[in-house]
């Protein structure tokens, strides 16, 4: 018993070291606002004017501040012993601090926060530290927030476990229900996605045909070409090797799912066309493969029931269920029973028999046909790191130095050769 107690005492500092310290700090907010920002609930929020500041004083060092915005991230500054930029790039923003005890938050415009957390040293796993991706190995065009957890369930954790860089693109936005945007981020983070997703400005509206989905676009001021151009820009921006899209029939005949894939089938070709221009100046790019969910030709079957090292031995299916559980607003829908069973009895992905997330087809390939038909990256070599280009001036300097040394060495060699020749001639003359 004494040994166990001693172990716990020794372990205690490491437990405390990773703790959240928000509640032990003084934040200059009234009780109602403080409650809204510290209740771990992104449906509650507090609004601030541009000239308002948030002053925080802690008895222990603050190493991280984690901020969740309501609808729009805002740029600003954190001031302590040092200054730190609030970039305004991510809805959930983490900033590393240099052991501050007193900090002040100021913003460049009016701002709305949903949550605010303070941490000393190590961070818990649920804190999101988003990154921006330059080149993707795999790009998924999900139509709605949660489709990536449902009809593509298991895909993302499988390739996260393989070390692939993944960018998720959402074809519709949820600005009318911002809660779903927060759920989207929480769900992706649970799947191991570390690269911030992209979302279009196209509205979310249910339809059952391609024609109705196109009409919905038109009624909201968009054209079919706008939708194609958005996808082209995403492909050119992130340069994915593999692109994955929805079933051509829209899984359960959702018109926006159908439209997403209808335009994607055009976008992959236009992305590589030098003559096709968009409002952005991205270079043309040709993908290697496009897989479509439930596509019958060139079928591929994914296995999501194998343990994954990255997730502590959980299967991709088990991780997918945890990711979908973050979509709190969708738990009442028929999708929940479809994914986990009526009584949560599904234990493996193959228990799902309708719209199986395991079934895909190779719609397009620039690298030949699949043979094994169980891995989207078949025939795709590992992406090699590109050599960094040195500044021109430095190259010229190095080149000049090389030429100088070559001249010096050449002169020395000539002098040695002449000396040797002279010695030989003297020797021969004496003989």
User: Is there a contact between 62 and 25 (Cβ–Cβ < 8 Å)?
Assistant: yes
Q: Per residue in 146-192, pLDDT tens? A: 999 999 999 999 999 999 999 999 999 987 788 999 999 999 999 99
CB 310 within 8 A of CB 160: yes
Residue 62 token pair: 């603050």
Q: What φ, ψ does residue 406 adopt, rounded to 5°? A: -65, -40
- 220 with 153, same domain: the answer is yes
The residues pairing with 359 across neighbouring beta strands, listed in sequence order, are 301
d(C-alpha 159, C-alpha 156), whole Å:
5
Residue 278 pLDDT: 96
pLDDT at position 395, please?
Answer: 41
Distance CA(246)–CA(236), nearest Å, equals 20
Helix ranges, 308-389 (H):
316-325, 334-340
Report the domain count for the chain: 2
Supply the pTM of this predicted model: 0.84
**pLDDT tens-digit profile of 23-73?**
999 999 999 999 999 999 999 999 999 989 999 999 999 999 999 999 999
68 shares its domain with 191: no
Q: Distance between CA atoms of 241 and 239, rounded to whole angstroms?
A: 7
| Residue 416 belongs to a domain | no
Same domain, 177 and 306: yes
For residue 122, what pLDDT is reported?
A: 84
Handedness of CA 130, 133, 136, 139 (dihedral sign): positive
In a shared domain, residues 203 and 351: yes
Q: How far apart are CA 178 and CA 156, in angstroms?
A: 23
CB-side neighbour CA atoms (13 Å) of 106 = 8
> Where among 65, 84, 119 does a domain terminate?
119
**The predicted structure's pLDDT at residue 415:** 58
Could you say which DSSP state residue 185 is in?
A: H
Which range of residues forms the domain containing residue 112? 18-119
| 298 & 346 share domain | yes
Domain co-membership, 34 together with 74: yes
Q: What is the CATH number of the domain that holds 42?
A: 2.60.120.260
Give 382's DSSP letter: P
241 and 327, same domain (yes or no): yes
pLDDT at site 431: 47
pLDDT beneath 50: ranges in the chain:
1-18, 385-411, 416, 424, 427-428, 431
Domain presence at residue 5: no
């Amino acid at each position: 018993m004494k040994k166990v107690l001693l172990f716990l005492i020794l372990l205690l500092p490491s437990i405390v070291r990773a703790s959240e310290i928000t509640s032990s700090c003084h934040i200059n907010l009234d009780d109602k606002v403080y409650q809204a920002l510290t209740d771990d609930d992104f449906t509650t929020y507090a609004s601030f004017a541009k000239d308002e500041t948030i002053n925080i004083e802690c008895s222990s060092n603050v190493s991280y501040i984690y901020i969740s915005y309501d609808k729009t991230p805002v740029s600003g500054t954190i001031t302590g012993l040092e200054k730190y930029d609030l970039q305004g790039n991510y809805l959930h923003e983490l900033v590393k601090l240099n052991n501050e005890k007193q900090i002040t938050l100021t913003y460049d415009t009016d701002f709305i926060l949903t949550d605010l957390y303070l941490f000393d040293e190590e961070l818990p796993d649920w804190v999101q530290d988003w990154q921006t991706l330059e080149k993707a190995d795999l790009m998924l065009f999900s139509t709605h927030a949660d489709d990536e957890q449902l009809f593509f369930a298991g895909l993302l954790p499988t390739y996260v476990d393989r070390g692939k860089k993944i960018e998720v693109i959402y074809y519709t936005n949820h600005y009318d229900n911002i809660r779903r945007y927060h759920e989207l981020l929480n769900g992706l983070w649970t799947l191991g996605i570390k690269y911030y997703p992209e979302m279009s400005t196209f509205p979310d509206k249910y339809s059952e045909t391609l024609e109705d989905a196109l009409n919905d676009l038109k009624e909201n001021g968009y054209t079919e070409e706008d939708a194609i151009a958005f996808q082209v820009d995403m492909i050119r921006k992130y340069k994915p090797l593999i692109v994955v899209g929805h079933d051509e029939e829209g899984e359960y005949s959702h018109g926006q799912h159908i439209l997403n894939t209808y335009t994607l089938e055009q976008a992959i070709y236009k992305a590589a066309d030098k003559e096709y221009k968009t409002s952005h100046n991205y270079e043309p790019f040709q993908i290697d493969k496009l897989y479509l969910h439930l596509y019958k030709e060139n079928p591929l079957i994914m296995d999501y029931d194998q343990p994954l090292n990255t997730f502590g031995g959980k299967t991709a299916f088990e991780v997918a269920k945890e990711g979908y559980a973050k979509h709190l607003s969708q738990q009442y829908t028929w999708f929940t029973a479809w994914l986990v069973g009526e009584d949560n009895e599904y234990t493996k992905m193959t228990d799902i028999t309708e719209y199986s997330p395991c079934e895909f087809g190779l719609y397009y390939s620039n690298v030949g046909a699949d043979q094994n038909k169980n891995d989207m990256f078949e025939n795709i070599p590992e992406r090699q790191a590109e050599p960094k280009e040195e500044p021109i001036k430095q190259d010229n300097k190095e080149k000049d130095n090389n030429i100088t040394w070559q001249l010096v060495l050449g002169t020395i060699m000539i002098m040695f050769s002449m000396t040797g020749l002279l010695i030989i001639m003297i020797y021969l003359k004496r003989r």
